[in-house]
Amino acid sequence: MSKYVKDLVTRDIKRRLDGVEDAVLVSCVGMDANTTNELRGELDKKDIHMLVVKNSLAKRATEGTQLASAFEGATGQIGVCWGSSDFVSLVKELVSLDKDSEKYDKFVADGGVMDGEKLDADALKAVSKWPSRTEQISILVGQILGPGSQLSGALLGPGKMLNSQIKQKGEGDE
């Protein structure tokens, strides 16, 4: 590949990855075209983008960005996945596809980068066990509402008990 073509491809990769701060690197070497197309369609439904690139061109395109550390030590062709509602949801989806050996047996989640820090395959599996953004929000809302409901119960409880006693006394006088 000539230097001119490499520069064109590098600029295109840089343009596509512009604004991407967290990504997962996957390997899909050996998958046939139909399976790859099916995989891309499944990922697209979940708003996950996948770009398969040569690692040396990806290194050149991500030089000086947070994604640069992900490509250290990478060899051959590599898929870069980004998107979804949050990084944990992205990792959960890709790790679950990696475990699904029947459908995508050649698909492997190799590593990635989160907040500029390189992640290996084991770290990805650990991140996939974290709660996603929506799960974290529901936990937070529960923690915020919990003390309020206890306070409400404590304040309303004696009043309801007094009201019940007054009602019972009132019914007996008739």
83 and 140 housed in the same domain: no
Total number of domains in the chain: 2
157 and 74 housed in the same domain: no
82 and 151 housed in the same domain: no
CB-based contact 26:58 (threshold 8 Å): no
CB-based contact 127:96 (threshold 8 Å): no
154 and 88 housed in the same domain: no
Q: Tell me which residue range forms the domain holding 168.
A: 132-174
Q: Residue 114: which CATH number?
A: 3.30.70.1730
- Whose tokens are 């990504």? That residue is 23
140 and 114 housed in the same domain: no
More confident residue, 163 or 48: 48
- Report the share of the chain in percent with pLDDT over 90: 11
Average pLDDT score, the chain: 86
102 and 121 housed in the same domain: yes
How far apart are alpha carbons 46 and 112 in whole angstroms?
A: 19
69 and 87 housed in the same domain: yes
Q: Tokens for 146?
A: 């919990």
171 and 146 housed in the same domain: yes
What does the pLDDT read at residue 47?
Answer: 92
57 and 109 housed in the same domain: yes
74 and 101 housed in the same domain: yes
pLDDT digit string, tens, across residues 53-79:
998 888 888 888 888 888 888 888 899
